[in-house]
Structure 1
Amino acid sequence: MTLRNTKVTTEIHHLTVSGIQVEVIRKDIKNLHLGVYPPSGRVRVAAPLVVSDEAVRLAVIGKLSWIRRQKTKFVRQPRQSQREMINGESHYFLGQRYRLRVHEHDAPARVAVRGIASLDLFVRPGTSAGQREAVLLRWYREQLKTLIPPLLEKWQPILGVQAAAWGIKKMKTKWGSCNPASRRVWFNLELAKKPVQCLEYIVVHELVHLLERHHNERFAALIETHVPHWRQYREMLSQAPLGHEEWKY
């Protein structure tokens, strides 16, 4: 389940349910939404203003098995160490693991894939780790800008929808997002590291939100019809190593 920040938050507090800390956000919304978020399985509930703490507690208890499974997945999911951007470091592109090879040269920075195992990073002498990482992230963004348009061109006529705009940004709790009102779609920069099938699944997922805003039965049926192997791709996303982040909320 996904928490969408479409309303103004009015109250935030915490409950402990069966030993699990739950962040409760009361908002001017109609339905209760429960989510479990990386990196450690933080549990958050967005609840309508009229819903009591006891009702929130009962809703969490009803989902305890699912919550614990999600928390366990996040704990077990491999994570990359903090990036030093040095020779031999592992980096990922489209699901493939590459070893970084740093080359210092007096020319504009660039990135190139060498064969099936090496990712060459060309930077000027004296470039810091942060500057090197910025070069790599810019390259990831460029790759997604090339990969996403053909997927949109493929799926928009199939689904009978048209996004008004789309973009790429770093997101910590979602692979993508969609604002049906503005018809704007966003994709997580981290998708450049994941298998291309996962990218296509997220493209379809967000476009389907232009037909159905909520993750309800209709939404699930549309995804099942158009991406019958979506559970496999979702699992691939959950198993792929997470990028290092100083997670803050």
Structure 2
Amino acid sequence: MTTQLQIGELEVDVVRKNIRNVHLAVLPPSGRVRVATPRHVDDEQVRLLVIGRLGWIRAQQAKFEQQPRQTQREYVSGETHYYRGQRYRLVVRYADAAPQVHIRNTQYLDLQVRPGSTVEQRATVLQEWYRERLKEQLPAVVAKWEAVIGQHAAAWAVKRMKTKWGTCNIEARRIWLNLELAKVAPHLMEYVVVHELTHLLERQHNERFRALLDGFMPQWRSYREELNGTMLAPFVEG
């Protein structure tokens, strides 16, 4: 159950569910504050937690305000689009043939669509191309890191997400990755794979979780900062 709690100028989303610990998050791109709590935690306890972390909350919100973002894409020729961390110039071609996408001369992303296609249709063609490319890359990356971490996920899938790069259903051992990871540099996608696999050893983002990541991927903190500092973050509300 989600409720809103007004704390000074802050409107805080409070999510009560069957968890053991309280989790405070500031969500991009707007800096919305969310607190996930066990069901027995009351509003006054949430209020005290938020007040005690106001400095940190303001710092996170300031980072989001300063972070550059891509403008809304219209999928027309001349736009900049990314694939595996590289920037490409989009060239839209119209033809009475099956839609397709090709990389040309390491500079151009050719998007072929039918005449009269809408923005949504052009977006769908390109997104499905990203989906297939990411799914092609995953098996080798997953095999590499499952061997290192010693854990095996029962299933992997790709979907669009608003607020996370990845998520892990620990009980089902199923991992979802954000479609936007097809656009970032390969080492950043690998960081998310390692992060989610590590949740099969430790559910919480606690000291043990961070220590495990230190052992598997010592540079994970710089990768996380790089990933969340890109213009390609998936956090589009609405």
Q: TM > 0.5 between the two?
A: yes
**What number of residue pairs does the alignment pair up?**
238
Pair 1:212-2:215 in alignment: no
Q: 1:234 maps to which residue? A: 224
- Amino acid aligned to 2:53: K
- Asked whether the equivalents of residues 102 and 122 of structure 1 are also in contact (C-alpha less than 8 Å), the reply is yes
3-state SS of paired residue (1:136): helix
- Amino acid aligned to 1:99: R
Greater Cα shift, 186-195 or 105-114: 105-114
How many Å separate the matches in 2 of 1:82 and 1:216?
36
TM score, norm. by length of structure 2: 0.94
- Asked whether the equivalents of residues 30 and 64 of structure 2 are also in contact (C-alpha less than 8 Å), the reply is yes
- Quote how far apart the aligned CAs of 1:178 are: 0.3
Query: Residues 93-172 of structure 1 correspond to what in structure 2 (within 5 A)?
Result: 93-172=83-162
- Quote how far apart the aligned CAs of 1:207 are: 0.4
Q: 1:87 maps to which residue? A: 77
Consecutive unaligned residues in structure 2, runs of 5 or more: none
- Quote how far apart the aligned CAs of 1:114 are: 1.5
Q: 1:223 maps to which residue? A: 213
- Asked whether the equivalents of residues 163 and 235 of structure 2 are also in contact (C-alpha less than 8 Å), the reply is no
Query: Residues 60-75 of structure 1 correspond to what in structure 2 (within 5 A)?
Result: 60-75=50-65
How many Å separate the matches in 1 of 2:234 and 2:148?
36
Greater Cα shift, 186-195 or 43-52: 43-52
Q: Residue 23 of structure 2: which of 9, 33, 45 is its match?
A: 33
State the Cα deviation string for residues 66-125 of structure 1 (Å, max 9, x = none): 222221222222222222111101111112221100111222111111123211111122
Q: 1:4 maps to which residue? A: none
Q: 1:12 maps to which residue? A: 3
Q: Residue 176 of structure 1: which of 160, 166, 184 is its match?
A: 166
How many Å separate the matches in 2 of 1:245 and 1:31?
25
- Quote how far apart the aligned CAs of 1:222 are: 0.7
Consecutive unaligned residues in structure 1, runs of 5 or more: 1-8
Greater Cα shift, 205-214 or 49-58: 49-58
Percent sequence identity is 53
How many Å separate the matches in 2 of 1:163 and 1:93?
26
Greater Cα shift, 73-82 or 131-140: 73-82
- Quote how far apart the aligned CAs of 1:245 are: 7.2
Q: Residue 190 of structure 1: which of 173, 180, 184 is its match?
A: 180
How many Å separate the matches in 2 of 1:220 and 1:196?
21
- Quote how far apart the aligned CAs of 1:37 are: 0.9
How many Å separate the matches in 2 of 1:103 and 1:73?
38
How many Å separate the matches in 2 of 1:223 and 1:137?
31
How many Å separate the matches in 2 of 1:24 and 1:244?
22
- Amino acid aligned to 1:114: R
Distance 1:243 1:234, change over 3 A: closer
- Amino acid aligned to 1:42: R
- Asked whether the equivalents of residues 12 and 25 of structure 1 are also in contact (C-alpha less than 8 Å), the reply is yes
Q: 2:32 maps to which residue? A: 42
- Asked whether the equivalents of residues 33 and 46 of structure 1 are also in contact (C-alpha less than 8 Å), the reply is yes
3-state SS of paired residue (1:100): strand
Q: 1:22 maps to which residue? A: 12
Q: 1:6 maps to which residue? A: none
- Amino acid aligned to 1:26: R
